[in-house]
Chains A and B, each alone.
Chain A
Amino acid sequence: MNNEELLSTLQGKLGQFAVEIVPRNPKRIYIDVPPEHSIAANRICFEELQGRLTTATGRDTPHRIEVLYHYCLDSCGVVVTLRTWAEKPECTLDSLAAVLPGANFIEREIQDLLGVKFRNHPDPRRLILADNWPQGVYPLRRDFSARRKRNETPEFLRELTQEVTSP
């Protein structure tokens, strides 16, 4: 499949959901999909285009948290990225893991690191962060300060834990 054919296929299959289809270069295509259509669009990428869900990236922006699902179309070596978003402050999205088991881990990771809640996730336990990590502190959010003084780390965490757990 050459690039024009792929673009017209994408336009035909995903055009009904997509806000915008941007080919940044022949090998990298970015598609913006509103949250209500994200599952339908993901299913088309996986089932009809035979894409392989490589991973998902969560990205914090001032007003919303973007979640980018990256699909590799291995037959033509193109990476298609579906960009959807969760509005702050609720930050909820429909879970893809219920449909595609390969999305299980990555959605749990995004939930840990960015605080996006995935509706209907089959197994929404904590995956990446430590057991004693305080609830409600998301290290990849913009307001989390990673530039701390070097010797502060353990105390910093312990203080936070006390703040959150004490009533």
Chain B
Amino acid sequence: MGLKTWALKKSIWLYHANVGACNNCDIEVVDCLTPRYDIERFGMLLAGSPRHADALVVTGICTCQARPRLQELYLQMAKPCVVLCIGACACTGGIFRPCYHFDGPVDKVIREVDPDAIIAYVPGCPPKPEAIISGALKALDAIPC
């Protein structure tokens, strides 16, 4: 295990980007921070800037307007990093897939700038906080050592 991967797995900081979600997944992500679920016990924190973050938590369908901004966010992050697609919209486009302003899904947009990105999917509408925590931990396990 390289030093970078070791450091990444110790305590991941999350950066949360909403690229066209309905806020459902977003409040569930914040719910993870509050006393009931408290992901800080795993060393996870919401970071204020993508440059400080190890995982990009994406919610929403990725609209036309958000697409270049999402790519920019991903490029700003320190590598190696993990992308977490939270909710049905981020995983596939979900119910909004036929919409004219849909330009995703998220994994496709991110793979355009980095074909080797590590992407984890947490389906559900919205996924429960337990599912989000479990998704984040599984993504960490998937990082090649």
Contacts and interface: CB of A to CB of B under 8 A. Distances in A.
Q: Is the interface of A mostly helix, strand, loop or mixed?
A: loop
Given A130-B63, A133-B64, A139 B100 contact: yes
A154 B64 CA distance: 8
A40 interface: no
Contacts of A148: 98
Contacts, number: 27
B107 to A, nearest CB: 14
Contacts of B99: 146
Contact of B101 (A130, A147, A150): A130
Contact of B65 (A131, A139, A147, A154): A131
A31 B1 CA distance: 73
A138 to B, nearest CB: 10
B38 interface: no
Given A130-B63, A133-B64, A150 B103 contact: no
What's the interface size class on A, roughly? Answer: 10 to 19
Interface of chain B, helix or strand or loop or mixed?
A: loop
A153 interface: yes
Contacts of B97: 150
Interface residues of B, number: 10
A157 B103 contact: yes
A157 B98 contact: no
B98 A130 contact: no
Interface in B84-128: 97-103
A6 interface: no
A130 B65 contact: yes
Nearest to B97: A150
Interface string A128-150: 01111100000100001011101
Contacts of B103: 153-154, 157
Chain B CB count within 10 A is highest, among A130, A146, A147, for A130
Given A130-B65, A153-B100, A154-B103, 10 more contacts: A129-B64, A129-B65, A129-B101, A130-B63, A130-B64, A132-B64, A133-B64, A139-B100, A146-B98, A147-B98
The 8 lowest CB-CB distance pairs between A and B, nearest first, are A130-B64, A130-B65, A139-B100, A154-B103, A153-B102, A146-B100, A150-B97, A153-B103
27 contacts: A129-B64, A129-B65, A129-B101, A130-B63, A130-B64, A130-B65, A130-B101, A131-B65, A132-B64, A132-B65, A133-B64, A139-B100, A139-B101, A144-B100, A146-B98, A146-B99, A146-B100, A147-B98, A148-B98, A150-B97, A150-B98, A153-B100, A153-B102, A153-B103, A154-B103, A157-B64, A157-B103
